[in-house]
Chain A
Amino acid sequence: MLRGALCTTYCPEILKLATQSGIFVYRQPSWKRKYSPPQVGDSLFCGDNMAASTGKGGVTSFQKKSRTKTLQIPGTRPSSQGNQLLVSTGVPSLDHIIGGGIVVGTVLLVEEDSFGNYARLLMKYFMAEGIMTRHPLLLSSAELHPKQLLRDLPAPVSDDIGKAALHQEDVSSEKNVEKEATMKIAWRYQNLRTEQPELGAFSKFGHYYDLSKTMSSEMIDTAPSRLFYLPDELPLEEQGMWNSIRNPAYVKLLQSIQDVVREGQFDLTVPQPKDVSRTVLRIGLHSLGSPLWGEQDGGTSHDTSLPHFLHALRAVLRTSLTACLITIPTHLFQDMAFTRRLEKLCDSVIRLESFAGSEKEQNPAYKDYHGLLYIKQLSQANSLLSYMPDCNDFAFKLRRKKFAVEKLHLPPELQDSQQREQDDPVAALKTPSTGCFSTSGKSKLDF
């Protein structure tokens, strides 16, 4: 509002200057900005047709006219292809290979590794990113209490970011005071932002986390969250007793998702009052379809309650501002066709395959990694073609502080393996930091 008032006083001056000197008048973004609602924590508003490209540090006032209206929500960014909004998964390297992030309104399905450790880690990253970007959360689980999951989220790496979030309002008010002094000569630079970093707090896309520390509980409490713990929501005696086609646990879950979407005003079909700024709901469904949810027969008899749940969930998501991450232990399903049907009902699908307990653990080719990551399909929402990654061979590794996804590279000189194998233990002893548990089980010469 303050800026709007500022530009009404300022605009005649531009015109006067222009007519006197006969120079060309650019259409400043501020002409339109006074009609737009103020945005919390963001001095730029991309809702105008004039995209505010000056914010990127560009000096020119000529702007490409963006075709569609894009919502500007903290913690989101438009995709490279155009009219889609992305949110980060919390793992920047994973964002990169799936085309920038999770498209708002779609489901990312993570097929769990055999012990579920890495899939749980991804879920934690997703939730931590939600807290850092002030997105409301909905977390459901049947085995571990969602509270416990939330309690050990990874801590964000740089502390000053967190502080900046707290001091956001002070800084922005100070900035406005500074801006009161209008520029007389270089008036064209008036509307450029003075500095960028103060935005960084929660409008930034994708943060880095340190797995060795946990996020402070005050920070977790700042995020509005709805926790869905199956035994609390649905007593155990009611769970087993279903003879209709639908599994009551899933029905209950979908109802609570719908409630949150309705109450939190994430529904795009309902017109929104102007003064409320939109934000994105993050839904995390941990270990959906595990035996605790009542999937007794392992998908052999084509139980249709889970596919129907996913189909109904898609209907809810497509009309609301939500992004969803689901992990499903698909290795428990005996029928591959059932898994394939579930995949078709989700939008993006990745599968984690951990080396723990498998022969690949011993394989020298994989000694740098903890598992493989397969991209099975990527979201096609609003476009003819999904994002196509350069290759499909990815592996992930877990360091002490972070989880990262990389392109799979074979180590050099794999063919003379006999000699290499003799060298390996020595090398592992020399550099203990690389000796993670996947390689340490390999040789008898260790200790």
Chain B
Amino acid sequence: MFTELNVILGFDHLKPPKGQFVLISDSLTDGSFLIHHFLSLYIKGGWKVCLLALAQSFGHYNAVGQKLGVPLTQAREKGQLRFIDGLKCSLQMYTCAPQEGQGENPLRALRDKKATLRPLYDLVKTQICSEEGVLEGPTLLLVDDLSVLVSLGVSAKDVSDFMHYCRVLMCPTQQGYCRVLMCPTQQSQGAIVSLVHKDADVEDEENSTLFRHMAYHGTVHLAVEGLSSGYSRDVHGQSNLY
């Protein structure tokens, strides 16, 4: 979609790079358009994509995907797209009685303060890995967005642990290797894109902790910011690349 952005990042739109951990942060504006960008980029590139959708429903991604020329329903039927419906899990977790039905729910950490996000990790793993526990071909894990977990009461440390495990699963190269763009090694088959809200005008301790941890893991950091000069109709904000 955004060809300039691909050029700047050095991402080939036909062959998206492997081993990347792309962190998107937004401040005073909404950065979810980049989620759609990467979703369409990697689907068009023929990757398998696992979309962990905590913020929106499948209908939303599908409607946007259609406008961008990426039919997600077909991709889902073909098995190219694996969709984890976080909204539904959250609703189940909210309405079920305390005893029943908690065993399977990947988000049981929302109810039980002692539980961690391990079931969610297990679910992601079963969705994208073969039985031996390795990735089948190039796979992208897309998380939209991590701040929802923090809002729902999961501690930043748990979220950070979860993402650390995911990173080890998806891009098991060393940090130093990853930092060089366009340098996929043999092992790393995956990539991660995730979104964190980091508003500059309020002090949200948990979110900024989470952001710092993610920035540490990340290989590419895209910061979307509202204009400091105020609202404008035609220019929605600026984005920085770190």
Q: Which residues of A contact B (CB under 8 A)?
A: 83, 244-246, 251, 254-255, 258, 302, 304, 307-309, 311-312, 314-316, 318-319, 336-337, 339-341, 344-345, 377, 380-386, 388-392
Q: A344-B148, A381-B56, A384-B68 are in contact. List 12 more A-B contacts (CB 8 A).
A: A245-B153, A308-B153, A318-B59, A318-B87, A319-B57, A337-B202, A337-B203, A337-B204, A341-B204, A344-B147, A377-B30, A391-B231
Closest 9 CB pairs of A and B: A304-B153, A337-B204, A315-B87, A315-B91, A382-B63, A312-B94, A318-B57, A336-B202, A392-B231
Contact A344 B64 (CB under 8 A): no
**A-contacting residues, B148-191, CB 8 Å:** 148, 150-153
Q: Are B233 and A246 in contact (CB under 8 A)?
A: no
Q: Which of A307, A385, A386, A390 contacts B151 (CB 8 A)?
A: A307
Query: Counting CB contacts under 8 A, is B95 at the interface?
Result: yes
**Bound Cα distance from A254 to B92, whole angstroms:** 12
Main secondary structure of the interface of B (DSSP, over half): helix
In the complex, chain A residues whose CB is within 8 Å of the CB of B60: 318, 380-382
Check B113–A390 contact: CB distance below 8 A. no
17 contacts between A and B (CB under 8 A): A245-B110, A254-B95, A304-B152, A308-B90, A311-B87, A318-B87, A340-B197, A341-B147, A341-B204, A344-B151, A345-B151, A377-B30, A384-B33, A384-B64, A385-B33, A386-B30, A388-B236
Chain B residues near A390 (CB, 8 Å)?
233
Chain A residues whose CB sits within 8 angstroms of the CB of B91 once the complex forms: 312, 315-316
CB distance from B171 to the nearest CB of A (A): 27
- By beta carbon, the residue of chain A nearest B68 is A384
A392 / chain B contacts, CB cutoff of 8 Å: 230-231
Given known A-B contacts A312-B90, A345-B151, A340 and B33 have beta carbons under 8 A apart: no
B153 in contact with A307 (CB, 8 Å): yes
Residue numbers in A under 8 Å from B67 (CB-CB): 383-384
State A384–B236 Cα separation when bound (angstroms): 13
Q: In this complex, what residue of B is CB-closest to A342?
A: B151
Q: How large, as a class, is the contact surface on chain B?
A: 35 or more
Which residue from chain A places its CB closest to the CB of B203 in the assembled complex? A337
Known: A307-B152, A311-B87, A382-B59. A337 touches B64 (CB 8 A): no
For B204, the chain A residues whose CB sits under 8 A away are 337, 340-341
Query: How far is it, in angstroms, between the C-alpha of A380 and the C-alpha of B63 when the chains are bound?
Result: 11
A391 proximity list for chain B (CB < 8 A):
231, 233
B61 to chain A, nearest CB (A): 9
User: For B197, what are the chain A residues with a Cβ–Cβ distance below 8 Å?
Assistant: 340, 344
Quick one: which of B88, B205, B231 contacts A337, CB cutoff 8 A? B205
Shortest beta-carbon distance from B235 to chain A in Å: 10
Chain B residues closer than 8 Å to A318, beta-carbon distance: 56-57, 59-60, 87
- Could you tell me if B63 and A251 are in contact, using CB atoms closer than 8 angstroms? no
For A307, the chain B residues whose CB sits under 8 A away are 151-153
Contacts A83-B63, A308-B94, A318-B87; A336 near B203 (Cβ below 8 A): yes
CA gap between A240 and B120 in the complex, in Å: 33
- Closest residue on chain B to residue A345 by CB atoms: B151
Contacts of A302 in B (CB 8 A): 153, 206
Given contacts A337-B204, A341-B204, contact A311 B90 (CB under 8 A): yes
Q: How far is the CB of A338 from chain B (nearest CB, A)?
A: 9
A151 to chain B, nearest CB (A): 32
B36 within 8 A of A: yes
Indicate whether B127 reaches chain A with its CB closer than 8 angstroms. no
What string of 1s and 0s marks CB contacts (under 8 Å) between B80-101 and chain A? 0000000110110111001000
